[in-house]
A and B are shown apart, each in its own frame.
Chain A
Amino acid sequence: MTIMSWYPVFLREMLLFRRKLFRVGYLFSAMVVPVIYLVTFGLGLGRNVDVGGTSYVAYLLPGLVAMSSMNNSYSWVSSALTLNRHYFKTFQVFVLAPVSPSAIMVGEVFAGMVKGLFASLLIIAAGFLFTGTLVITPFFFVALLVNCFLFASLGVITGMLAKSHEDTSTYNNFFILPMAFFCGTFIPVDRLPAMLKTVVTILPLTHTNILIRKATIDSQGLMSIAVLFFYAVLFFSIGTSLIRNYSE
């Protein structure tokens, strides 16, 4: 991969994103679910709950940022790739161009990250608006960036594997939705039943949620960084390999 050979792939996604951004529906769809969760769980049900000495809404908000970054990085890439391969046939253009599979991968993943980060910014803004509190640490940024990277990479994997657009919803229901609810967004993983806790501990969003709430680094935080990087490398490698072996 030559330097910046990923750029045209990224640019294409950004040009499309810019057009979508100016549609009211896009901003609404990116914000509506996390804001509903924030209002019902954070400001409603959780008003009198506290988690480890902090208010529930202060606990929930970083989790919603993590969840939203996961959803948006993943879904946009996954669904766009599926549509581009099966319906619009625009993925052919990349495959026929003299660019490497890793350049295509980087372009798609960076574009997914931008979409994930953009949605996260909206939630951070909404959080400030509704609660006036959100502690942002350096670990918050690391967690957010790696989270967007690995879920955009996972989006490429499912986007390359999906046989139809309906398949992307199936993948979403199997991987993304359970993670959104069980991996420490709404309730601490410690409070889950033992069996579920074991499964949840190996999932990436759990470690994003641990890291995103860390004020200072400790062994648990280091472990979470290691796990997130492991998933990032794993998903990126699988995604690149699927693009390399792609054939219509």
Chain B
Amino acid sequence: MTHDPASIKGRIGVVPQENNLDRELSAFENLLVYGLLHRVAGLQEKISEVFAVVELEGSRERVVQDFSGGMKRRLLLARALLTDPEVLFLDEPTIGLDPQIRRQFWDVIRKIGLDGRTVVMTTHYIEEAEVLCDMVGIMSKGRMVALDSVPHLKKLVGEYVVDAINDEGRLEQHMCRDRREADTIASGIQGRLTIRRSSLEDVFVKLTGARI
């Protein structure tokens, strides 16, 4: 693979964390130059197609510097899709976006996944990984400490959590295998407590030993 970078470049799409669009060009011009660089066949039709996927059809002639943060992210995604990549890499795709815009962006990512493409993304937003990813890899200090589906990861650390606030106001968490174990632990705790299903964030905290 490392001996033939050109063939790999042709099969992957990359959406960088930093916006590297040409701010002074229109959305269409950005895609035109990128498509020509990558020798995309049927470029005009392909551009219209990716504009539709990211729902930017109405803004194709607008200059990118007038775009909102969410629109720029979607244009970056459209650009990466132009080459019809088998694997799409997204680096922190929703960083800095409002919650509403982030959810719209998630819809677009899901749509791309449903088209049969593999999407590999890095994120610090754990809920993003939870709602979008079939497989989640958890990295800690540069090492992959777990790689599995979200239900399996939860099973690994416990599907229920008992959150209890102690006398000093600190949160004490008890990961439990099932509801019955959670009830048993809760019955022995005095004071405020909550029993809930575990989240991917609980898995992350448990496996990395760090609080987010």
Taking Cβ atoms with an 8 Å cutoff, the residues of A that contact B are 7-9, 11-12, 15-16, 19-20, 88-90, 92-94, 96-99
Contact = CB atoms under 8 A, between A and B. Distances in A.
16 contacts: A7-B36, A8-B33, A8-B36, A11-B32, A11-B36, A12-B33, A15-B29, A15-B33, A16-B22, A19-B24, A88-B20, A88-B22, A89-B20, A92-B16, A94-B37, A96-B14
A139 B37 CA distance: 36
Nearest to B13: A96
Contacts of A96: 9, 14
A18 to B, nearest CB: 10
The prevalent SS among residues of A at the interface is helix
B23 interface: yes
B110 interface: no
Given A8-B34, A9-B37, A89-B19, 4 more contacts: A19-B24, A89-B18, A92-B16, A98-B37
Contact of B39 (A15, A20, A92, A98): A98
Given A16-B22, A19-B24, A96-B14, A11 B33 contact: yes
Contacts of B29: 15
A99 B18 contact: no
B210 interface: no
Contacts of A20: 24
Contacts of B32: 11
A12 B16 CA distance: 20
Given A16-B24, A16-B25, A19-B24, A98 B33 contact: no
Interface of B: 6, 9-10, 14, 16, 18-25, 29, 32-34, 36-39
A97 B25 contact: no
A90 B16 CA distance: 11
A7 B32 CA distance: 12
Contacts of B37: 8-9, 93-94, 97-99
B78 to A, nearest CB: 14
A82 to B, nearest CB: 15
Nearest to B7: A98
A93 B16 CA distance: 10
Contacts of A11: 32-33, 36
